[in-house]
Structures are given as C-alpha cells and as structure tokens.
C-alpha cells in the first residue's frame, strides 16, 4: 500500500557512468534525499563532495541555532575594535594581553585578503575605518576587491561555528603559553665519520689483531 511503500511520481533505472542506478523522484515529504555528485576526475568529485558536506553542516548549524553573523572577517574586526577600546580601562599587563588578542583577530580578514590577491594592509585600513564609523557588518568582499557590507552581499556565518573557532584557537594559545620548557633529544653524533665508537678502520683492525695474539 502507499502507506507502506510511500509515493513517488517517477521510479526508473538510469545508467550513470558504468553503473546502473534507480532514481526515485517526486516523493511526498521525503525523510531523506540523495545527492549525485559528478565531475571530470576523481579529484574534482572528492573536492565537490567535501565542499558540499561543509555547506550541509553549516546549514545544519544555522537551522539548529537560528543565529548568524556577517562573514568575511566582519565579526573578527568588530571584536578587535571593541577589545582595543576596552583594553586601556584594564591597565597593567592584562592590557597588553587584550591588545595582543585583538591584533590576532585581525589575522582572519588579513588572510582572506591575501588569499584573494588583495593588498591586506589596504583592506585592514578600510575595515578599521568602516567599523569605527559603526559599520559593524563590513568585511572582505573578495568579488568586489574591497571592504563592503557582508549581510547585504549574503555572506554570513553561523554563530555556533564562530564561537567554536574563537574558543578553540584561544584554548590552543593558552596551552602553548603554559609550556615552561622544551626538551629536545638529539641523536649520537659520529666523530670524524668513524662511526659511534669514534675509531677508524685501521685502529679497529689493529685491536682485532692484538686480541687474536
């Protein structure tokens, strides 16, 4: 019965490459779907599959949390600006740590600019100016080659992913800073190319002759 098997508008067998596949299309309220990825080579298919899985996971995070932020390094630039404004009120060594953390956040938009072939210094200057003027959603627009409104361009990121990225990077930095010493083990070095004993072949042959006598 339809209640047991479900309903579909089309069920047919098609040949995809060297394999035969059954396509079921036009299902009502399907619980799951299959995405067919094609490409000119195995490398292209693998890359397309990886990008597709990343996109699906991002969409999942958005649906679960229901919160997004502007992409393109916009949130990092705004956090950096707020931290730099707050640091002087703290004072002491903590101020230096806060300022260093704020500068580290600018690595994200700087890297985006470099990967897009843009001048990172010019982009960072544009972003700083924009965020100081209250344009909190301005980030690196790699298509326009300048700083622009990421929300208007449709470039967004889930809040959950952004929190995890910043928290993970912070935890790693703390672990590294807590390292007091590094112990490096070196292998035994041969002396004069004579091997581990430091004896030449002539000395070894003479000692063998003496032991035989």
Domain boundaries, the chain: 2-66, 70-177
Rounded to an integer, the average pLDDT of 165-184 is: 84
Residue 204: its pLDDT value, please?
54
Angle at the Cα of 105 from the Cα atoms of 164 and 76, rounded to 5 degrees: 70
Each residue's pLDDT tens digit, 115-129: 999 999 999 999 999
> What is the CATH class of 70-177?
mainly alpha
Q: Residue 196 pLDDT > 70, yes or no?
A: no
Buried b (16+ CB within 10 A) or exposed e, 66-100: eebbbbbbbbbbbbbbebbeebeeeeeeeeeebbe
Rounded to an integer, the average pLDDT of 67-82 is: 92
According to DSSP, residue 188 is labeled: P
Band (pLDDT 50/70/90 cuts) for residue 134 is very high
Closest listed residue to residue 79, CA positions, set 152, 174, 163? 163
Dig out the tokens for 126 from the structure.
Answer: 């544009």
Band (pLDDT 50/70/90 cuts) for residue 16 is confident
Of 95-109, 166-180, 193-207, give the lowest mean pLDDT range: 193-207
């Amino acid at each position: 019965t339809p209640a047991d098997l479900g309903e579909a508008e089309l069920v047919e067998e098609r040949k995809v490459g060297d394999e035969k596949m059954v396509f079921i299309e036009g299902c009502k309220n399907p619980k799951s779907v299959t995405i067919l990825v094609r490409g000119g080579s195995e490398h292209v298919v693998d890359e397309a599959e990886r990008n597709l899985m990343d996109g699906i996971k991002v969409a999942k995070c958005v649906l679960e949390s229901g919160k997004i932020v502007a992409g393109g390094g916009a949130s990092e630039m705004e956090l950096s600006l707020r931290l730099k404004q707050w640091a002087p009120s703290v004072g002491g060594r903590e101020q230096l740590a806060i300022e260093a953390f704020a500068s580290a956040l600018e690595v994200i938009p700087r890297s985006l600019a470099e990967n897009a072939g843009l001048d990172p210094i010019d982009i960072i200057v544009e972003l700083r100016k924009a965020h100081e003027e209250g344009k909190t959603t301005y980030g690196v627009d790699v298509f326009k080659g300048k700083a622009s409104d990421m929300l208007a361009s449709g470039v967004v990121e889930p809040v959950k992913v952004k929190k995890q990225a910043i928290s993970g990077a912070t935890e790693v930095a703390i672990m590294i800073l807590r390292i007091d010493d590094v112990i490096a083990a070196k292998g035994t070095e041969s002396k004069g190319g004579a091997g581990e004993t430091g004896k030449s072949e002539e000395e070894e042959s003479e000692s063998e002759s003496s032991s035989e006598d």
